[in-house]
Chain A
Amino acid sequence: MSQTATMTGPAPDTNTKVESGPRGPRPKPFFTPQKIIIYSILVFFTLYFLFPLYVMLVTSFKTMPEIRFGNIFALPSQISFDAWVKAWTSACTGLTCEGLAPGFWNSVKITIPSTIVSIFIAAVNGYALVNWRFKGSEIFFSILIFGSFIPYQVMLYPLVMITRELGIFGTLQAVILIHTIFGMPILTLLFRNYFASLPQELFKAARVDGAGFWRIFFEIMLPMSLPIFVVALILQVTGIWNDFLFGVVFAGTQNLPMTVQLNNIVNSAQGTPEYNVNMAATVLTGLVPLIIYFVSGKLFVRGVAAGAVKG
């Protein structure tokens, strides 16, 4: 985007000197065969990407008799919120019939502290790695990054034993700890790269004025790093909200997050499946990350691309 902007910007000025640039004054007609092919492919993929969202929403507003009629494309003849109410309050997860609401609140209880703790630890860590290097700090960081590629299944059982030993297995603290551990590589990378991009003179000036580790962090670094905190926040909230494995292993039956409850509602419920309730529950679970995605826009892109940026 920015590239095209800078290219079109100075074009009129250089017009007199450069005779035939790639973007001359004569605009091409919009409907060239090439453009038609490009847009057809893009529209085809757009339909592929939008189709499930459409089906999810349409199905959730239908009644079961209408669904049995067998047309997933059709709009509901009459919009019914019954499935949404049932999904939220009384859908059965195999054991209980309390709907998704408890799962939602469990996810909130897991996501908020996990996000705060993991971001704080990673921010301080990234700051220490950039500005307060010590012997071995880079080695630890390298192992941390490579460790993030180890499949979770490899470390799962020992972590169960450790959390059991600490007496927190099956509690919220265990899930928070696990999310902090596995969020650390990507978040530390994010903050380390960001702090490294800040001018070193600021840090040095503060050092000369006698400020210490924490004072520089809280009074100079933090106020300057709001954008990267927002990126980290987006990354962690969506990541933790969408987690399934850690929730199912570490949270304990009382704290199962929304994704686990959703899967139970759809895949372990007995009796005839109610597809409208299933789809309403699915939309409800996807709602939080979707809202974050649509509100945050480019920051989300920056967040997901952060893993691709080499340190």
Chain B
Amino acid sequence: MADTAVDTGRGAGNTGRRGFLRKTFLHNVPAKIAALPMMATVLVVFIGCTIWTVYYSFTNSRLLPSGDFIGFEQYERLFGTSRWNVSVWNLVTYGAMSLVFTLGFGFLLAVLMDQKIRFESAFRTIMLYPFALSFIVTGLVWQWIMNPTLGLQGTMRNLGWESFTFDWIANPRMVLFALLIAGLWQGVGFCMVLMLAGLRGVDEEIWKAARVDGIPTWRTYISVVIPMMRGVLVTAVVLIGSGIVRLYDLVVALTNGGPGISSEVPAKYVYNYMFGAGNIGQGLAAATMMLLTVLIIMVPWAYLEFGGKGRRS
């Protein structure tokens, strides 16, 4: 019932596939009806909307999309805007730090959890619970903790540690680290779970062999186990990376881009120009740059994973 309602709503997008559908029309009809939402999503949203955005990023659309082509002017203006350049720089800096620390801490915690420790499930429960929360919740809690007057800094000073400074949220040079602390709080547990699954997937025989050969444990991890976990590591990098590019809610809740524009990010720039400033062309050009970033991450991965020979089914 529900899917037919959606189908009729987006049926217009499927007229182009008529020939294809008619060719094998008598065969397997219910499956095609069941897959219609997927086909519509792929054709209309993932392909259609993306192409639309790229196309209209070359126009001078302001309050409404318009057809006047202006070439790369939106992009020139984009990279001439300090707010955008700050956003890109922030994303690169935050992204690099976030990727390194999420993977590093995630792996460290997974290794520690894999040492046949007690209370393993309690530790895991505590490490993963932030991942269940909204970025808005995460951002607001850390905003309160990092409140310079009444939060951690004020508390430590009141307790007698007068020089204690933790004003990262109000300090343009440190605000990205404030974002990082909140981002890691939410994401490290998830990375740990992925890594732990990878570690548990390593055959116990390999550990025995390494022990018989007298190889130190840390060496076994670096030379044997990590290369064997390539699949999990690549997946983790892709998932964390695509999450970083989308970074939006956390910034809105924690700093709202401030102080000044020192913690702006591209996703926020896109949103503000599309729905706030009424300059759609700018927003679309910024969105296209985000798409390009993801493609730069995704294409090598897709090539590594699915290039060469076809996927196993």
Q: Give chain A's interface residues, CB within 8 Å of chain B.
A: 1, 3-4, 7, 22, 35, 38-39, 41-42, 45-46, 48-53, 55-56, 59, 67-73, 116-117, 120-121, 124-125, 127-129, 132-138, 140-141, 143-144, 146-147, 149-159, 161-162, 166, 177, 180-181, 184, 188, 212-214, 238, 241-245, 249, 259, 262-263, 266-267, 275, 278-279, 282, 285-286, 289-290, 292-294, 297, 300-301, 304-305, 307-308, 310-311
Contacts and interface: CB of A to CB of B under 8 A. Distances in A.
Given A140-B42, A177-B9, A266-B140, 7 more contacts: A56-B144, A143-B47, A259-B249, A262-B140, A267-B252, A267-B256, A305-B197
B123 interface: yes
Given A72-B155, A120-B3, A305-B193, A289 B46 contact: no
Interface string B266-288: 11001100110000100110111
Nearest to A69: B158
Contacts of A243: 134
Interface stretch (B20-28, B78-86, B219-227): B20-28
B137 A180 contact: no
24 contacts: A42-B112, A46-B123, A46-B126, A51-B145, A52-B141, A53-B129, A56-B144, A137-B35, A138-B313, A144-B38, A149-B238, A151-B242, A151-B267, A154-B49, A157-B284, A158-B52, A161-B65, A259-B136, A263-B136, A290-B133, A301-B128, A304-B128, A305-B194, A311-B311
Contacts of B228: none
Contact of A45 (B109, B125, B248): B109
Contacts of A73: 155
Given A52-B142, A121-B3, A124-B34, A143 B116 contact: no
B132 A289 contact: yes
Nearest to A138: B313
Contacts of B2: 116-117, 120-121
For chain B, give the interface size range.
35 or more
B298 A67 contact: no
Given A279-B144, A307-B239, A144 B30 contact: no
B179 to A, nearest CB: 15
A153 B290 contact: yes
Interface stretch (B68-76, B95-103, B170-178, B229-237): B229-237
Interface string B199-220: 0100010011001000000000
B31 interface: yes
Contacts of A42: 109, 112-113, 117, 123
Main secondary structure of the interface of A (DSSP, over half): helix
B36 to A, nearest CB: 9
A134 B147 CA distance: 57
B275 A249 contact: yes
B48 interface: yes
Contact of A154 (B35, B53, B126): B53
Contact of A155 (B20, B49, B108): B49
Contacts, number: 293
B41 interface: yes
Most buried by B among A143, A150, A161: A150
A154 to B, nearest CB: 5
Contact of B141 (A121, A143, A282): A282
Contacts of B270: 153, 156
B127 A45 contact: yes
Nearest to A34: B115
A135 B35 CA distance: 12
B287 to A, nearest CB: 5
A236 to B, nearest CB: 13
Nearest to A242: B134
B180 interface: no
A57 B141 CA distance: 10
A125 B20 CA distance: 19
Given A48-B185, A157-B53, A293-B129, A132 B31 contact: yes
Contact of B137 (A59, A136, A262, A304): A262
B189 interface: yes
Q: Which 6 A-B pairs have the closest CB atoms?
A: A147-B46, A132-B31, A213-B30, A242-B134, A158-B49, A293-B132
Given A117-B6, A310-B231, A150 B189 contact: no
